Homo-oligomer: A and B are copies of this chain.
């Protein structure tokens, strides 16, 4: 078939664009470097029959009805509210910090008002909030910052809190009640048959051809699409000509226990201390609700080299990004979408929302001329 659109990357950004364009009658070629669709949201059954998230835990949550409704065309849902504990000296503390966290940590018996008063007393108001350290000190003060945030950040980002933009810590609320949900969105659901199955249904369309194990950078000389939607790292697209944008990478240590059906109380245990090299351990059966024998977990560590996962939210990277964005804006037959191409730490629902909007804009442009 004659291809109208080449889409690079079969993660959320690429898959949503492909499906929307295909439904609008466009012929789409979707390629991905990896041997599977789904991007980092890919999940699969491991050798023990447990459904795992190969590239680390993905928890879907959104307040966006349009996004939820759209994805609902391709999956049914399992109601799931995500919970996280921090492990400190062998004890478990709810994260985000709430009343229980304070009472357990300081051996107190605070009510809700007293918990609010406590936080008000220990917080260290900052005049200017620029870094993540400013955010955390301003919100919970020095002791809680050191215990729960500084060490975790150092392991996660390879940088001190004071070196990171305020946006990173701004994602983390504190509570004075006992609510221990990590997210409190309107829709807290996991795709009932997993993410991969949802992607497969999304891409099951006569106007979409999927090619896997197909590296765009290697192949682009042979491809001459009318329009390209690129969801990979923006610096790679331009052959790193201004230098590399730093992306944080992850290392995954997948493990299985045959002797236990459940290892942890909740899906994720964070390890903020420096005595462990890993940042967190995730037990997948909490996320998936799978009922089976044995349990599979993944230990995550961060690394500065390897597959790109997170853009690094630092002011100094913005200048370099802008140079690449200037180049990108000169290309009127190429669109950059998603976490890696836009170099923004977007959640899954934000990527879906943007992809829907971008295809609408493209198709509107087409119908106008």
Q: Are B79 and A192 in contact (CB-based, < 8 A)?
A: no
What does the 1/0 interface line of A43-77 toward B look like (CB < 8 Å)? Answer: 00000000000000000000000001100100011
Residue on B with the closest CB to A186?
B186
Q: Which residues of B contact A77 (CB under 8 A)?
A: 76-79, 189, 192
* Shortest beta-carbon distance from A55 to chain B in Å: 23
Expressed in whole angstroms, the Cα–Cα distance for A81 and B73 within the complex equals 12
* Shortest beta-carbon distance from A179 to chain B in Å: 12
- Contact flag A72-B76 (CB < 8 Å), given A186-B186, A192-B192: no
Question: A78's contact among B68, B72, B81, by CB below 8 Å, is which?
Answer: B72
Q: Which residues of B contact A78 (CB under 8 A)?
A: 72, 76-77
A-B contact sample (14 more), CB < 8 A, given A76-B192, A77-B189, A186-B186:
A68-B79, A69-B79, A69-B81, A72-B78, A72-B79, A76-B76, A76-B77, A76-B78, A76-B79, A77-B77, A77-B78, A77-B79, A77-B192, A192-B192
Which of A72, A76, A81 has the largest count of B CB atoms less than 10 A from its CB? A76
* Shortest beta-carbon distance from A326 to chain B in Å: 41
* Shortest beta-carbon distance from A151 to chain B in Å: 34
What does the 1/0 interface line of A258-273 toward B look like (CB < 8 Å)? Answer: 0000000000000000
CB pairs A–B below 8 angstroms (12 shown): A68-B79, A72-B78, A72-B79, A76-B77, A76-B78, A76-B79, A76-B192, A77-B79, A77-B189, A77-B192, A186-B186, A192-B192
Q: How large is the interface on A (under 10, 10 to 19, 20 to 34, 35 or more residues)?
A: 10 to 19
Q: Which residues of B contact A189 (CB under 8 A)?
A: 77
Expressed in whole angstroms, the Cα–Cα distance for A81 and B79 within the complex equals 17
Expressed in whole angstroms, the Cα–Cα distance for A19 and B197 within the complex equals 32
Q: Which residues of B contact A68 (CB under 8 A)?
A: 79
What does the 1/0 interface line of A65-107 toward B look like (CB < 8 Å)? Answer: 0001100100011110100000000000000000000000000
Expressed in whole angstroms, the Cα–Cα distance for A76 and B193 within the complex equals 10
Expressed in whole angstroms, the Cα–Cα distance for A77 and B190 within the complex equals 10
* Shortest beta-carbon distance from A288 to chain B in Å: 11
* Shortest beta-carbon distance from A79 to chain B in Å: 4
Return the 9 tightest CB-CB contacts between A and B, nearest first: A72-B79, A76-B192, A76-B78, A77-B77, A76-B76, A76-B77, A192-B192, A69-B79, A68-B79
Q: Which residues of B contact A72 (CB under 8 A)?
A: 78-79
Expressed in whole angstroms, the Cα–Cα distance for A28 and B77 within the complex equals 31
Expressed in whole angstroms, the Cα–Cα distance for A68 and B189 within the complex equals 12
Residue on B with the closest CB to A190?
B76
Expressed in whole angstroms, the Cα–Cα distance for A78 and B189 within the complex equals 11
What does the 1/0 interface line of A27-47 toward B look like (CB < 8 Å)? Answer: 000000000000000000000
* Shortest beta-carbon distance from A83 to chain B in Å: 13
Q: Which residues of B contact A76 (CB under 8 A)?
A: 76-79, 192
Which of A69, A72, A78, A79 has the largest count of B CB atoms less than 10 A from its CB? A79
* Shortest beta-carbon distance from A206 to chain B in Å: 16
Residue on B with the closest CB to A78?
B76
* Shortest beta-carbon distance from A65 to chain B in Å: 10
Residue on B with the closest CB to A81?
B69
* Shortest beta-carbon distance from A41 to chain B in Å: 18
* Shortest beta-carbon distance from A19 to chain B in Å: 17
